[in-house]
Structure 1
Amino acid sequence: MLGDPIEYRSGNLSVNGNTNGLVLESKSNKEIKCIWSKRILYYSPFRIIFKWKFDWSKLKNERVDKLTGYITLISVDNAFTAKKMNVELTENNQEFTNEFGYDFSPYDTVYYEYSLTPHYTSKKPSYEEMFLPSDQNDVILVVDGKKLHVSKAFLSYHSEFFRALFSSNFKEGQMDEIPIGDVSYEDFALLLSSFYPNPVLPTDRTVEKLLEMGRRFLVSSVIKVAEHHLLKMSKINNEKMLWMADEYGMPKLLKKCIRGLDTLAKAKQMKQSEKCVHLSDKTKLKVFDRLMDFI
């Protein structure tokens, strides 16, 4: 799945000998940091090497496995034609270097722009590998006939449901294997994988089910990771997103969705939609107030 392009324009910088081999600029833009540096080769003909080094570790944690797009180098004084260079950044290739020749002058002032599109991995996590036996696990949950080896302490920390289940007040707290009913293995493993060591982040395909499971099993951290995904990366339409924000209590997302009703037509469409019927009275009032802003 492709995300929205992330775009950036640098400041204007002079190409001169005083900065040879030094960093020209180091800036963070959204979740990408870029260090721009250069090296001048003075022997004839004059040449200059520009290097862009990218740090996008935050995006990697959000299941982005590569960035593609372009960098454009531009002369402020139109001393040369803008140079557009295709870029592909991966885990093993996080730098881009290019050498420029005779049409450059040591006295030029330049800037660069980039447009990079995140590629989200569609690789499905292996739940079987995630919940194998280990020294840290001390209980087995049985779901759909499949066994998940987990830690009581870890699940209890993240979930009030499991904290109660594993307590001495319930017979399950004394069992080595505990059945979990009325839930599919895939849905339950999805929930656990969202906060287990090396957590799997939500996608548009999984986020609604994850919110549903988080509420059922009282895992509050699910709300935070789901809201972050919906705020930053989701392609889900505003109408459905507003409903999820209201249904599962995500105030930042709700504010963004209300703000997204930025025309009279959008506000009317939301008020007349099927989803609006299921909104809380408080949120219906927010939609109505937004509608009145345009009247």
Structure 2
Amino acid sequence: MQQLSGLPSLTPRLMALYHTLHGHYGHEPHWWPIFGPDRHWEIIIGALLVQQSKWERVEATIIRLLDHQLYHPAALATTTPELLSPLLAGIAYPRQKAPKLIQLAQHLSHCAAGDTTRWLAQPTQPLRQELLGLAGVGPETADVILLYAGHHPVFVVDGYLRRLFARLDLIPNCATLPYETLRATIEAALPADLDLSAYRHLGDSRTMLFWDYHALINEHCIHHCLASRPHCETGSAPRRPFAQPEKCAGHCPPCSGCPLRPVCLAYNHRSTASVIED
């Protein structure tokens, strides 16, 4: 994978950002809530369902699948799009996602007899290529599955990351860089021998760093670094009505604003412009 060169300060800047976000939000072990008996499979289908959809609607869909006994791979593999798509109501593109979920379940049943643990235990690169060959699975969805379901050390690049990193001016042209270039650049700056001893909750695990870092970026862009009206100098955006009350229960306590203001290029440019106009 091609990565950007000439960024010698990226590692300390990335770790400084992680340190600040962790200090503000803390570690949330329930960030990805699970409702059914198969954590790995539920993360896989959740990664597909959440595309262009709010997480609250994904939760509601997974609960409906459980209620209608269409949660397990074996059940999904033998259902029809006509039966499944009404249960996906509320998420984006239910008619398109229904056959993709069925195909995913059929693939898992064929390749690993429905055993998600065995399927996800493959080496990272062959499994990633296999995921990318499935309908509805692009690079971001594949990496979400690899990281959260399979515990593979891959860094997820999403719209939240691009927004935050661009506003902080962490990586040049972050908003438009190809996915693989941006992912490779971040992973190279957070190598396997990185000292994580200051963060006991990570268990000296690079995979857990990637897991927690991505979660913190998402939370920050939900609570403070919003797309159009960021909460820079005010408390966070209102909490969302998640079906699992433990999700983010301790996140974003009452505060006086975004903790990244001192290093945020976008905020400081706006503040300077305001002073000049005044």
TM-score interval, smaller chain: under 0.3
Structure (1/2) with the larger helix percentage: 2
Structure (1/2) with the larger strand percentage: 1
Q: Which has the higher contact order (CA 8 A, sep 6+)?
A: 2
Structure label with greater radius of gyration:
1
